[in-house]
């Protein structure tokens, strides 16, 4: 029987078992003081001794650190905190360069502590609990006697979700300085390699595509060396699933990083099929100098397990984010529907044009108006003004407060765009402080988008930007800021520090960025910060500690967004995804899709608009009003319900079903919303059924359809039927298979990229 206790400690065999009736994580200390990993997976009943899980035998060519013992080699033991060079040749969790140049360490167990709740991490975002009974934390101390280096491994297991948070703290308790050159926040040795790895990979405007491959011998790794962002290319999260796993069933392990800078996540499969999973700060370009008495805290990594397939793993992360990562009043409050002026005006606006856009949006029921780039300094294009956060008097003659008051008087909230980490050379900030831009002495400065990166590793820079932003935010009733960041770091060098600390610049930059976020939220606790890094370049758990929502991608094309939002949902909840309806032809793809489909995709996120509603037809504007009302009615379900991926745009064959589908189910299972999307239409397509998930099997659900027609509108089905028999719909508008058509006009009812939303309400 599984007990409610979360951490069992068996002192007599020095064994630790973290469990919460959903997951178990077990390791022990061996006679040499090393931590050996024993088990991670579905919850198992505790027992006095799991020592039978230690697998060890003599193997030819193995190096053996115990004289006379030819069976004991760290190369063939599964460990919790591996080191290189004392018989283990795999990638280590730690590497420390000592004053004599040696990198050899020998960390041994020195003690442990168990406490209720979860301690905060110094200067870093991390998951948290509201009350001590929501989690327990195990701290394990390891000491390297020769150097005095002390490592503390932190394990927090949450009470009612299958999630464990991991991090590492290193303290120099010796007499000589040393440099950390590698420190993984998490290392787990799995007993075999029979896993399919999932990564979220892409680029700007096509972020987080789902890529899968079976593990193979050697190292398979993703990461980012872009400095200012966790990255458009590889998201800091991976999943390992058994080959028979799908969205609904099978064991899946997920690992995600609570960090927004350079990272690496890798799996190393050795010659005996053991899989070492590690995640942490990328070691290329990283060193951290510790004088005696100083400490370094690694960012946090999150480990989740589900026997219920990829959806189950995703829901574990979604629950974690909504309850233990997001914070402040906007964790639980309904987010406002917004309109952003960027694609409507770009830099070509004045106050009256903005008011006209806001007025029409208010008429549609939109709740927040956001003024994007161009409101500050001499910002008439992208070559000037960044760094000078003062309102442009020509565009805003009555200042920021004048515009904000006009917006507020309509009954709307007011928001503002910032890109606080960047500077243009054509700015007062750069003219006065060129040394504040990151640049290596004697080297050329690379530009991107006509801008340069401020040195947020320099406290003076962070203080200046905070003062400028605070002055603007204090000058008017500003409820929201869109925090943009539009380029990566090059020529990284911290002119405010000496030679020994140049390996710290990337991490200190991210710490400075986190500090600025935290200070702004402390000064303006009701502020919504929507994260953005050229779209989704910083969509990670670290930013979600400050931003309850993140702009998912600069690509607002509805068809592209199906894939982007689908991939993002692997680790991040719908409530975190900034998703808007934009103009057509789309500004990124030049594709034309219906207003209905653009809305039906954007509904599965925070919802908003990136266009001038006054330029729509009367019929389109009526549809917008209807869409806004629909989202207001169901946004609590969308943002707090359980999300299920049904048909993948990455795996669906357009010649077959040609569909993509997902759904969300309210926590009480009384309401569900299904998004049903056609991709490319084909004549004489086969019959298809949509198998739903997560419903109450005994409930009767009445079906209504939004944004299209359906042959099953108004009908009732049991949850059992909808999940096991499937939802059968003969309407032609989504690639139907209804049989004969009555005339030529019927052939025109189906189009590429049609969509509908089905709403199921339990009777």
Within a 13 Å sphere around the CA of 31, how many CA atoms are in the beta-carbon half? 6
> How far, in Å, are 142, 152, 273 from residue 39 at the CA level?
21, 21, 16
The structure tokens listed for 488 are: 């990566």
Q: Which two tokens stand for residue 583?
A: 């103009």
DSSP H helices in 331-476: 342-345, 351-364, 399-409, 428-432, 459-475
Phi and psi torsions of 460, nearest 5°: -60, -35
Of 185, 190, 142, the C-alpha closest to 164 is: 185
Alpha-helical segments (H) within 199-333: 309-320
Q: Are 686 and 738 in contact (CB under 8 A)?
A: no
335: Cβ contacts below 8 Å, ≥ 6 apart: 528, 548, 549, 575, 606, 635, 639
- Quickly list H helices, 186-298: none
Which tokens hold the place of 443?
């080297």
Contacts of 514 (CB under 8 A, 6+ apart): 123, 124, 125, 260, 542, 546
Unique residue bearing structure tokens 């290319």:
233
Residue 623: count of CB within 10 angstroms of its CB: 18
CA–CA dist 494, 440 (Å, integer): 8
Q: Which two tokens stand for residue 338?
A: 């917004």
Which stretches does DSSP call E strand in 472-535?
480-483, 528-531
Which of 189, 426, 554, 555 does the annotation list as catalytic?
A: 554
Question: Is 235 within 8 Å of 538 (Cβ atoms)?
Answer: no
Torsion of CA 511, 513, 514, 520, to 10 degrees: 140
Determine the Cα–Cα distance for residues 734 and 688; give it in Å rounded to an integer.
10
Active site residue 484: yes
Annotated catalytic residue, options 251, 426, 484, 731: 484
Six token digits for residue 82: 């591996």
Let me know if 554 is a catalytic residue.
yes
| Rounded Cα gap, residues 138 and 9, in angstroms | 10
Through-space distance between the first and last CA atoms of the chain, rounded to whole angstroms = 37
Which helix (H) or strand (E) element contains residue 120?
Answer: none
Distant-in-sequence, close-in-space partners of 74: CB < 8 Å, separation ≥ 6: 34, 65, 82, 83, 86, 87, 88
Give catalytic residues, as residue numbers: 484, 554
């Amino acid at each position: 029987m599984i007990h409610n206790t979360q951490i069992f400690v068996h002192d007599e065999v020095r064994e630790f078992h973290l469990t919460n009736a959903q997951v178990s994580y077990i390791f022990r200390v061996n006679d040499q003081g090393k931590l050996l990993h024993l088990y991670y997976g579905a919850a198992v009943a505790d027992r006095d001794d799991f020592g039978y899980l230690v697998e060890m035998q003599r193997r030819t060519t193995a190096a053996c650190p115990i004289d006379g013992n030819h069976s004991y080699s760290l190369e063939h033991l599964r460990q919790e905190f591996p080191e290189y060079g004392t018989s283990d040749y795999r990638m280590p969790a730690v590497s420390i360069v000592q004053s004599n140049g040696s990198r050899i360490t020998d960390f041994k167990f020195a003690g442990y502590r168990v406490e209720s709740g979860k301690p905060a991490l110094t200067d870093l975002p991390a998951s948290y609990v509201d009350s001590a009974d929501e989690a327990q934390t195990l701290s394990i101390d390891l000491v390297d006697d020769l150097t005095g280096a002390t490592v503390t491994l932190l394990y927090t297991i949450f009470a009612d979700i299958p999630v464990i948070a991991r991090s590492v703290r290193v303290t120099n308790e010796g007499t000589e300085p040393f440099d950390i050159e590698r420190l993984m926040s998490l290392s787990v040795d799995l007993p075999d390699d029979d896993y399919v790895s999932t990564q979220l990979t892409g680029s700007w405007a096509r972020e987080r595509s789902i890529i899968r491959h079976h593990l193979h011998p050697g190292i398979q790794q993703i990461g980012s060396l872009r400095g200012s962002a966790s990255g458009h290319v590889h998201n800091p999260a991976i999943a390992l699933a058994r080959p028979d796993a799908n969205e609904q069933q099978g064991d899946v392990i997920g690992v995600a990083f609570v960090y927004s800078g350079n990272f690496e996540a890798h799996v190393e499969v050795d010659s005996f099929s053991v899989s070492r999973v590690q995640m942490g700060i990328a070691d290329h370009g990283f060193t951290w100098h510790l004088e005696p008495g100083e400490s370094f805290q690694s960012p946090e990594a999150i480990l989740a397990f589900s026997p219920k397939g990829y959806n189950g793993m995703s829901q574990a992360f979604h629950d974690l984010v909504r309850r233990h990562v997001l914070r402040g009043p906007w964790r639980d409050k309904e987010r406002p529907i917004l309109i952003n002026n960027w694609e409507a005006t770009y830099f070509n606006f004045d106050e009256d044009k903005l008011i006209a856009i806001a007025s029409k949006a208010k008429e549609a029921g939109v709740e927040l108006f956001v003024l994007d780039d161009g409101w500050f300094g001499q910002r008439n294009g992208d070559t000037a003004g960044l760094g000078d956060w003062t309102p442009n008097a020509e565009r805003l003659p009555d200042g920021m407060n004048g515009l904000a008051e006009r917006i507020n008087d309509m009954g709307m909230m007011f928001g503002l765009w910032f890109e606080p980490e960047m500077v243009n050379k054509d700015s007062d900030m750069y003219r006065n402080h060129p040394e504040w831009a990151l640049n290596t002495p004697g080297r050329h400065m690379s530009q991107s988008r006509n801008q340069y990166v401020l040195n947020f590793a320099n406290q003076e820079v962070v203080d200046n930007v905070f003062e400028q932003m605070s002055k603007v935010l204090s000058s008017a009733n500003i409820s929201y800021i869109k925090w943009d960041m539009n380029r990566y770091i090059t020529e990284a060098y911290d002119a405010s520090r000496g030679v020994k600390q140049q390996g710290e610049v990337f991490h200190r930059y991210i710490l400075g960025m986190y500090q600025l976020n935290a200070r702004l939220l402390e000064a303006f606790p009701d502020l919504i910060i929507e994260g953005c890094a050229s779209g989704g370049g910083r969509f990670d758990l670290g930013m979600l500690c400050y931003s309850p929502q993140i702009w998912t991608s600069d690509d607002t094309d509805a068809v592209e967004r199906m894939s982007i939002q689908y991939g993002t949902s692997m680790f991040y909840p719908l409530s975190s995804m900034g998703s808007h309806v934009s103009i057509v032809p789309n500004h990124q793809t030049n594709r034309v899709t219906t207003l209905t489909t653009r809305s039906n995709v954007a509904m599965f996120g925070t919802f908003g608009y990136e266009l001038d509603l006054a330029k729509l037809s009367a019929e389109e504007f009526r549809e917008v009003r209807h869409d806004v009302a629909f989202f207001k009615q169901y946004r609590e379900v969308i943002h707090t319900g359980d999300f299920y991926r049904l048909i993948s745009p990455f795996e669906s064959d357009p010649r077959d079903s040609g569909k993509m589908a997902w759904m969300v189910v309210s926590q009480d299972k009384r309401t569900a919303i299904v998004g049903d999307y056609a991709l490319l239409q084909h004549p004489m397509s086969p019959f298809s059924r949509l198998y739903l998930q997560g419903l109450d099997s005994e409930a009767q659900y009445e079906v209504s359809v939004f944004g299209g027609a359906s042959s099953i509108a108004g009908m009732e089905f049991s949850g059992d039927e909808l999940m096991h028999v499937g939802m059968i719909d003969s309407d032609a508008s989504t690639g139907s298979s209804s049989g004969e058509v009555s005339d030529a006009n019927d052939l025109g009812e189906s189009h590429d990229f049609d969509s509908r939303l089905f709403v199921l309400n339990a009777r």
